[in-house]
Amino acid sequence: MKIYADHAATTKISEAAAAAMLYHMNETYGNPSSLHTEGQRAAEVLADARGRIARLLGAEPREIIFTSGGSEADNQAILSAARLGEQKGKKHIISTAFEHHAVLHTLQALEKQGFEVTLLDVHENGLITPEEVAAAIRPDTCLVTVMFANNEIGTVQPIAEIGEVCREREVLFHTDAVQAAGHLPIDVIAQNVDLLSLSAHKFHGPRGVGVLYAKKGIPLTSLIEGGAQERGRRAGTENLPAIVGMAVALEEACTDLAGKRERLTALRDRLIRGLSAIPHSVLNGDPVRRLPGNVHFCFEGIEGESLLLLLDDKGIAASSGSACTSGSLDPSHVLLAIGRPHEIAHGSLRLTLSAENTEEEVDYLIAAVTDVVAYLRSISPVWRELVSGKQKFILN
């Protein structure tokens, strides 16, 4: 059996999105900035895609800026808010310790430019509270940036409530909604969001394209100078096929969102129940306030990388949920942020499902992970020490 259970890393492109892209690559080859008929046809297709995406977010078309993906949208949102703050002498930013690196590294760059960043501690369940955000806001705070849903442990923050706090205190609010889009309802008005990032490849759209929503009236700093595309906020000839593919994929994902969410949640909970039976394991993140497809565990006494390689041998594409694959052996900053000790954080496994996964696959996943964990423990010196009582178990 071949099972793809790494949808938080990227998703397979939907057939409808791929077909729309191929069609527009061939048929809509004009430059939307050209005055001739071919160009104007492309401009209409672009405007149509912008309108469809805006509608799905509860936004206006002019509030939608097309970017090269989630990372660029995060960078532009944060740098724009920082520049606006700086003009008013406000150089304090609030975020959380377990954001995506596209946010954390942008904040680190701003610290080098004299900004002060408060990273709120995340509770063990992977959540922060609006009260904690309120308490951290100072007269010189120019931005709060809190992710909608975490890419590793899947926890979903109280975004509307955090947005309300920011609105009351007149501080800009950005949310990285890359993991939420297509899984949870997004409404920028109801959720009090000023700036929001999306990435198409996380909801069965193409790679290399995303959206920055910026509430009207918020001037953006351009990261790329050049032509006047995107109302001067992002230069470069628009990636029309990818933008249309993104619109098609987002529409598809948002169709019967509640129904798909319910089916996916049932699969997720079946997987969580099955893996919870493994001794000395723990589910990371809140059991309920989490993405419908996210399952994330730590298993004591094993290394996440070995687990991934053995699962791959069984046809399973999974993740440790951290940057270990990039060659770094540092444990995940997300797991450390929720207070997991290093020893535990190393033995992590993230399985992220989509509506295409089946109950049969979930049962295969449970059996495979149970087997592999037992095998790795049988050859682990750490496990021997734990079982013999030389070392104490951290997890029950």
Ligand X SMILES: *Cc1c(COP(=O)(O)O)cnc(C)c1O
Active-site positions read 324
If the CB atoms of residues 176 and 194 are measured against ligand X, the closer one turns out to be 176
Contact status: 178 vs ligand X (CB under 6 A): yes
| R_g (Cα) of the chain, nearest Å | 22
DSSP 162: H
Q: Residue 49 in contact with residue 247, Cβ under 8 Å?
A: yes
If the CB atoms of residues 177 and 372 are measured against ligand X, the closer one turns out to be 177
The residue count of the chain comes to 396
- Please list the helix, strand and coil fractions of the chain in percent, rounded to the nearest 5, in that order: 45, 15, 40
If the CB atoms of residues 90 and 202 are measured against ligand X, the closer one turns out to be 202
Binding mask 145-164 for ligand X (x = CB under 6 A): --x---x-------------
Name every residue whose Cβ is closer than 8 Å to that of residue 307 and which is 6 or more positions away in sequence.
299, 318, 320, 347, 349, 369, 372, 373, 376
CA atoms within 13 A on the CB side of 388: 8
If the CB atoms of residues 42 and 78 are measured against ligand X, the closer one turns out to be 78
Name every residue whose Cβ is closer than 8 Å to that of residue 223 and which is 6 or more positions away in sequence.
72, 75, 76, 79, 234
Give dist(CA 301, CA 384) in Å, integer: 9
Binding ligand X (rule: CB under 6 A), the pick from 20, 64, 70, 98 is 70
Distances from the Cα of 219 to the Cαs of 47, 144, 212, in angstroms? 21, 17, 13
Q: Which of residues 88-117 bind ligand X (CB under 6 A)?
A: 100, 102
Binding ligand X (rule: CB under 6 A), the pick from 199, 281, 348, 354 is 199
Q: How far is the CB of 383 from ligand X (least distance, A)?
A: 32
Piece of the chain touching ligand X by CB under 6 A; list 172-180, 183-191, 306-314, 373-381: 172-180
Q: What single string gives the DSSP state of each residue in 194-230?
A: SEEEEEGGGTTS-SS-EEEEE-TT-PPPPSS-SS-HH
If the CB atoms of residues 137 and 246 are measured against ligand X, the closer one turns out to be 246
Contact status: 320 vs ligand X (CB under 6 A): no
If the CB atoms of residues 210 and 293 are measured against ligand X, the closer one turns out to be 210
Classify residue 255 as exposed, middle or buried by CB count within 10 Å of its CB (0-12, 13-18, 19+): exposed
Q: How far is the CB of 202 from ligand X (least distance, A)?
A: 6
Binding ligand X (rule: CB under 6 A), the pick from 71, 95, 354, 380 is 71
Contact status: 126 vs ligand X (CB under 6 A): no
Binding ligand X (rule: CB under 6 A), the pick from 202, 234, 268, 280 is 202
Q: How far is the CB of 147 from ligand X (least distance, A)?
A: 6
Piece of the chain touching ligand X by CB under 6 A; list 17-25, 63-71, 267-275, 372-380: 63-71
Piece of the chain touching ligand X by CB under 6 A; list 85-93, 199-207, 218-226, 347-355: 199-207
Give dist(CA 333, CA 339) in Å, integer: 10
Positions in the binding site for ligand X (CB under 6 A): 69-71, 74, 100, 102, 147, 151, 176, 178-179, 199, 201-202, 210
